[in-house]
């Protein structure tokens, strides 16, 4: 005989919105570090690749973010959110092409434009983000 128990619902603490906020802060930090680079070394490649991968991850999470709004027929709000973040996937693709073609002038220009998009994000001095970009170039090339 199997006993039935009522279970509480499962809450996922790692939502797409939290991931987007965390990745946005990491992108801002990576753009700042990339601006400090004086030569194109492994760290500069990792930084640029991380920015591209993080923007792609943000872009892929947009549809799941607006799914709840669309269920409730908030189409205008969902479309506005999509239009607000449409640039993320486009910039990720442009940055990836610039990395593969070694066009570091375009990488610098794109990273400045990305920094403008994330201009309102503030990162504390004692942040716990670490260096999430380490090994990102290898991951981008492997994809």
CB-neighbour burial class of residue 4 (10 A; exposed 0-12, middle 13-18, buried 19+)? exposed
- Is 10 inside a domain boundary? no
* 80 domain-assigned: yes
Residue by residue, pLDDT tens for the chain (143 residues) are: 555 666 666 666 668 888 999 999 999 999 999 999 889 999 999 999 999 999 999 999 999 889 888 999 999 999 999 999 999 999 999 999 999 999 999 999 999 999 999 999 988 888 888 888 989 999 988 86
Residue 63 near residue 30, CB atoms below 8 Å: no
Give how many domains the chain has, as a whole number. 1
Range of the structural domain that residue 28 is part of: 16-121+132-142
Residue 82 belongs to a domain: yes
**pTM of this structure:** 0.86
Does residue 7 belong to any structural domain of this protein?
no
């Amino acid at each position: 005989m199997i006993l039935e128990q009522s279970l509480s619902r499962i809450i996922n603490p790692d939502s797409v919105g939290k991931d987007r906020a965390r990745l946005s802060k990491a992108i801002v930090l990576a753009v700042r570090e990339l601006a400090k680079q004086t030569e194109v070394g492994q760290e500069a490649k990792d930084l640029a690749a991380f920015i591209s991968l993080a923007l792609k991850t943000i872009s892929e999470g947009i549809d799941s973010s607006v799914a709840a709004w669309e269920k409730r027929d908030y189409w205008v709000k969902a479309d506005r959110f999509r239009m607000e973040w449409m640039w993320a996937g486009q910039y990720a693709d442009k940055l990836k092409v610039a990395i593969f073609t070694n066009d570091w002038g375009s990488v610098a220009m794109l990273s400045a434009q990305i920094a403008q998009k994330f201009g309102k994000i503030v990162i504390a001095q004692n942040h716990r983000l670490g260096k999430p970009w380490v090994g990102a170039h290898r991951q981008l090339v492997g994809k």
